[in-house]
Amino acid sequence: MVCISDFFFCLHAHQQLAFPIFLLECTPSACYIRASLDFKTSKPKSLSPLEDSKMSTFPASSASLSSSLLPPVVDDISCTKQDAIRNTVNANPSIWGDQFLTHDEPEDLVMEKQVVEELKEEVRKELMIKASSNESMQHRKLIQLIDVLQRLGISYHFEEEIEEALQHIYVIYGEKWSDDNNLQNISLWFRLLRQQGFNISSGIFKNHIDNKGNFNESLCDDAEGMLGLYEASYMRVEGEELLDDALEFTKTHLAIIAMDPFCDPLLRIKIQQALKQPLRKRLPRLEAVRYISIYRQEASHNEVLLKFAKSDFNVVQSMHRKELSEICKWWKDLDLKNKIPYVRDRLVEVYFWILGIYFEPRHSHTRMFLLKTCIWLVVLDDTFDNYGTHEELKIFTDAVQRWSISCLDMLPEYMKQIYQQLLNLHQEMEESLKKEGKAYQIHYVKEMAKELTRNFLVEAKWLKEKYMPTLEEYMFVSMVTSTYGFVIARSYVGMNDMITEDTFKWVATYPPIVKASALICRFMNDIVTHKEEQERGHCASSIECYQTETGATEKEACEFILKKVEDKWKVINRESLRPTQIPFPLLMPVINLARVCDVLYKHNDGFTHSGKEMISHIESLLVQPAVI
């Protein structure tokens, strides 16, 4: 009999918190908990604030944790009777079936690729001509061109040129946008520069305020200007009251304009879409689909840009379909859908999520690694949140901390494959990174996986002990279990040469922008999933924590949490202003991850239960070609 008696201390990346997980005794075929070092009775000296918190009563739903028959897959686990209490909620099957398993390249792809290559150079020239000019008229056209390129989803071809062009604009107009008093142009200048991380003052908008401090009512006649100001105001940081006011003012008046029966139909659509979701929160790839259809209706549209955007979209879509088909085959071979049926089969939705982080062809390799580990993440989340018993989860967490194939024997049968996959995926990536001299990166992502399971285990413990954390305690743990730190670190693996060891160290400390993105995900997810989760048995969410702490109603709690989401966006905006702690382009996955939540979790849990809107998003990215 092999005996392993061990303490594990959970070290949070930067807070240096420590607490024991458990004491184990294992045999190769069976494993059980010999003694559990309870948080309340076995505190080591340096404890997490979580451990010192008072335990309060948690209103567990009567429907929670139903004792049920174990499926055959776990029959051979030796565990105590109480360990066998598990949730058995099975997820709805994927709505996509085998639709994405194969992919045939469209016949006209070769031609589309040719169009892209030809038009790319034409657009590049135009960009360079405008960027090298000293005339303010050309500069006006330059920022309009950059805006269109970004919205059409083709700016990734010209990242260096756009960076240089905006640098140039910043040097000339860092304080004030030319003599042009046109609100649409000022707003565009402001938004583009802020989006690119240039710290320009919002004071310029004071010109549009009367002596009582209100925005001039005359602006209401300038719908395009108001639309521009509305989009610009979403670049606000904490304390920018002027932009808070601008947002309220434009929201109110744009809604009135859109209701006017004489409003131009295209303008009405643009306003309605903007009010539904501001540009700052839109996913670039979805924006490309939307904007191609809007732009072609604009009288002033440029035919070359439109053609280029359409062909490029279709070329990239075909590449995405190839990636997805590869992943579908991998997933089918693993057969986890049948082996562990409690897991949500949300392959396509995960792919959508990853495309939200980056869609560009150059990230294909990293995207595939990220994709596989994120699919694994859903398996992990459902194991912790749904199927695994507390004791099994402790064993699993321990095995992840040890990260060794020798741990396989201590795991319950159904967990073996999950664990094996974890090791395989990282092994595979490590080998590929070694060739590029970047193997060190794997160490950091492994550490974040360990941290993630430790925090998942804290939540499992809260549930088991019916413990109600304070909102602050909850945020501390749940920003990690949002999985965004884990995902952001992975999005950097093999990404490009800007990535250094410091990049990974940076993510691991959850700097403000990472924390903000993670909490946006956590809060938006909580608002739409907390009811269903509480019914099936889940640790308290931010909604329950806040309600318990303040006596607020559920509606009030949701409003409070939603307000926090807006505050976190202000943090993202502030933290993306230069000088940034890591190179500005590396912040894009962090920002995009926050954007994904505004699509997935705005009205319901679009990830778990793909509704009409999500289906339409996924189809527009992966099924329907762009047409003009």
Ligand X SMILES: CC(C)=CCC/C(C)=C/COP(=O)(O)OP(=O)(O)O
Question: Residue 418 or 493: which CB sits closer to Mg ion?
Answer: 418
Report in angstroms the alpha-carbon separations of 86 from 83, 332, 469. 8, 26, 22
Per CB under 6 A, 572 contacts ligand X: no
x/- string (CB under 6 A) for ligand X, residues 485-504? Answer: --x-----------------
How many other C-beta atoms are found inside a 10 Å radius of the C-beta of residue 331?
19
Nearest-approach distance from CB 589 to ligand X, in angstroms: 11
Among 147, 385, 398, 598, binds ligand X (CB under 6 A): 385
Q: At what angle do helices 265-276 and 284-295 cross, to 10 degrees?
A: 170
- The verdict on 457 binding ligand X (CB under 6 A) reads no
In angstroms, the first-to-last Cα distance of the chain is 70
> Where are any strands of DSSP class E within 361-518?
none
Per CB under 6 A, which region of 152-160, 372-380, 415-423, 558-566 contacts ligand X?
A: 372-380
Tell the smallest beta-carbon distance from residue 248 to Mg ion (Å). 36
Q: Which of 389, 517, 525, 548 binds ligand X (CB under 6 A)?
A: 525
Binding partner selected for residue 343 from Mg ion, ligand X, none, CB under the kind-specific 5 to 8 Å limit: none
| Residue 365 identity | H
CB neighbours of 319 closer than 8 A, spacing ≥ 6? 361, 364
Q: Tell me the C-alpha distance between 163 and 31, whole Å.
A: 57
> At closest approach, how far in Å is the CB of 385 from Mg ion?
4
Question: In whole angstroms, how far apart are CA 269 and each of 227, 330, 615, 628?
Answer: 12, 41, 21, 18
For ligand X, how many residues bind (rule: CB under 6 A)?
Answer: 13
What is the distance between the alpha carbons of residues 251 and 253, in angstroms, rounded to a whole number?
6
Nearer to ligand X, 378 or 499 (CB): 378
Q: State the minimum distance, in angstroms, from the CB of residue 490 to ligand X.
A: 9
Query: Among residues 48 and 483, whose Cβ is nearest to ligand X?
Result: 483
Instruction: Kindly report the number of other CB atoms within 10 A of residue 468's CB atom.
Output: 22
- Residue of 250, 483, 503, 620 interacting with ligand X (CB under 6 A): 483
| Residue 607 binds ligand X (CB under 6 A) | yes
Return d(Cα 302, Cα 175) in angstroms, integer. Answer: 30
Neighbouring-strand partners of residue 57 = 467
Backbone φ and ψ for 35, nearest 5 degrees, come out as: -150, 135
What 3-state class would DSSP assign to 488? helix
Question: Could you give phi then psi for residue 181, rounded to 5 degrees?
Answer: -100, 15
Question: Do you know the residue count of the chain?
Answer: 628
Closest contact distance (angstroms) between CB of 533 and ligand X is 6
Beta bridge partner(s), residue 23: 35
Pairwise CA distance, residues 273 & 23, whole Å: 56
Query: With binding defined as CB under 6 A, does residue 622 bind ligand X?
Result: no
Least Cβ distance, residue 153 to Mg ion (angstroms):
32
User: Would you state the structure tokens that stand for residue 200, as one six-digit string?
Assistant: 């320009």
Residues at the interface with Mg ion (CB under 5 A): 381, 385
- Binding partner at 371 among ligand X, Mg ion, none, C-beta below 5 to 8 Å by kind: none
477 binds ligand X (CB under 6 A): no
- What is the smallest separation between the CB atom of 607 and ligand X, expressed in angstroms? 5
Nearer to Mg ion among residue 202 and residue 453 (C-beta): 453
Using CB under 6 A as the binding rule, whether residue 529 contacts ligand X is answered as yes
Confirm or reject binding of residue 158 to ligand X (CB under 6 A): no
User: Which of residues 202, 366, 389, 481 is near ligand X by CB under 6 A?
Assistant: 481
Q: Which does 233 bind (CB under 5 to 8 A by kind): ligand X, Mg ion, none?
A: none
Question: In the complex, what is the shortest distance from the CB of residue 381 to Mg ion, in angstroms, rounded to a whole number?
Answer: 4
Give the footprint of ligand X on residues 48-87 (CB under 6 A).
none
| Distances in whole angstroms, Cα of residue 88 to Cα of each of 63, 84, 358, 605 | 12, 11, 35, 20
Please identify, among the stretches 78-86, 173-181, 219-227, 378-386, the one whose residues bind ligand X according to the rule CB under 6 A: 378-386
Q: 323 to 352, contacts with ligand X by CB under 6 A? A: 350
Can you tell me which of 31, 232, 374, 379 binds ligand X, judged by CB under 6 A? 374
Told to check if 618 binds ligand X by CB under 6 A, we report no
SS3 74: helix
Which range in 180-188, 271-279, 480-488, 546-554 contacts ligand X by CB under 6 A? 480-488
| Cis ω for the linkage preceding 579 (within 30 of 0) | yes
Token pair for residue 426?
Answer: 């990282």
Residue 180 or 381: which CB sits closer to Mg ion?
381
Shortest Cβ contact with Mg ion: which residue? 385
Neighbouring residues of 233: CB distance < 8 A, sequence distance ≥ 6: 243, 244, 246, 247, 250
Q: Which residues bind ligand X (CB under 6 A)?
A: 350, 353, 374, 377-378, 381, 385, 481, 483, 487, 525, 529, 607
